[in-house]
Copies of this chain bind each other. A is one copy, B any other.
Amino acid sequence: MDAYAAGVTGSQTTAPRLTAKGQATRERIVAAAAQLMFERGVAGTSTDEVQAKAGVSASQLYHYFADKRALVAAVIAWQADTIVGGQAELFARLDSVEGLRAWRDALVGIQVERRCAGGCPLGTLAGELVETDPEARADLDVAYRRWADGIADGLYRMHDRGELPADADPGKLATAILAAAQGGLVLTQVSRSTEPLEVALDTAIDHVAALVERARAR
């Protein structure tokens, strides 16, 4: 088992219990903050702007988030939820080469929609926060590990069913696929072309497909 992709289980969100209405308000604040921080960066986003976008008062915002730091932590968790939870159907199918290719198509499709601008929402937060905010770095680490675990789940199922060779390490394969996605997104953002993302993911998935063929041939 790979230590990187198997570091975390469960949700990193540690919000207090809220009523359904309170939960919806909190969610609206976080979604607004996430969008603003993706577009303008964390430093370029004020809590005033988050309030305006979410349509809440300062006292409402501070009821849910003691300070901007708490809001940033919630945004990091929200991005991980959106990537893994928002694509739950795709992640559930990551136990086959076809499912991996469908997930790859979805990632490429998002970049086509965004005209390759913006990059990965988690990667953007990482670039801004990793070296200056140790708490955010730890939160981002948890978020990436959730993403890696989401990819690893399907590969472990394939391994259990004997569709991957016994000596293949699903956790490591998941880490490699996540790295291909991250690196591909950086190159796609810089080149404004989906080609590097496509090539990076295709190569990683071709590697899995070759392992499946090897397991089948035995």
A residues sitting closer than 8 Å to B (CB atoms) are 2-4, 117-119, 123-124, 126-128, 130-131, 137, 140-141, 144-145, 172-173, 175-176, 178-187, 189-193, 195-197, 199-200, 202-204, 206-207, 210
Q: How long is the Cα–Cα vector from A192 to B211 in the complex, in angstroms?
A: 30
Q: Which residues of B contact A190 (CB under 8 A)?
A: 126, 130, 137, 140-141, 144
User: Are A183 and B191 in contact, with the CB atoms below 8 A?
Assistant: no
Q: Which residues of B contact A181 (CB under 8 A)?
A: 183
Looking across the interface, which residue of chain B has its beta carbon closest to that of A43? B43
User: Are A176 and B193 in contact, with the CB atoms below 8 A?
Assistant: no
**What is the CB-to-nearest-CB distance from A35 to chain B, in angstroms, rounded to a whole number?**
14
Q: How long is the Cα–Cα vector from A144 to B178 in the complex, in angstroms?
A: 20
Q: Which residues of B contact A124 (CB under 8 A)?
A: 127
Q: Which residues of B contact A145 (CB under 8 A)?
A: 191
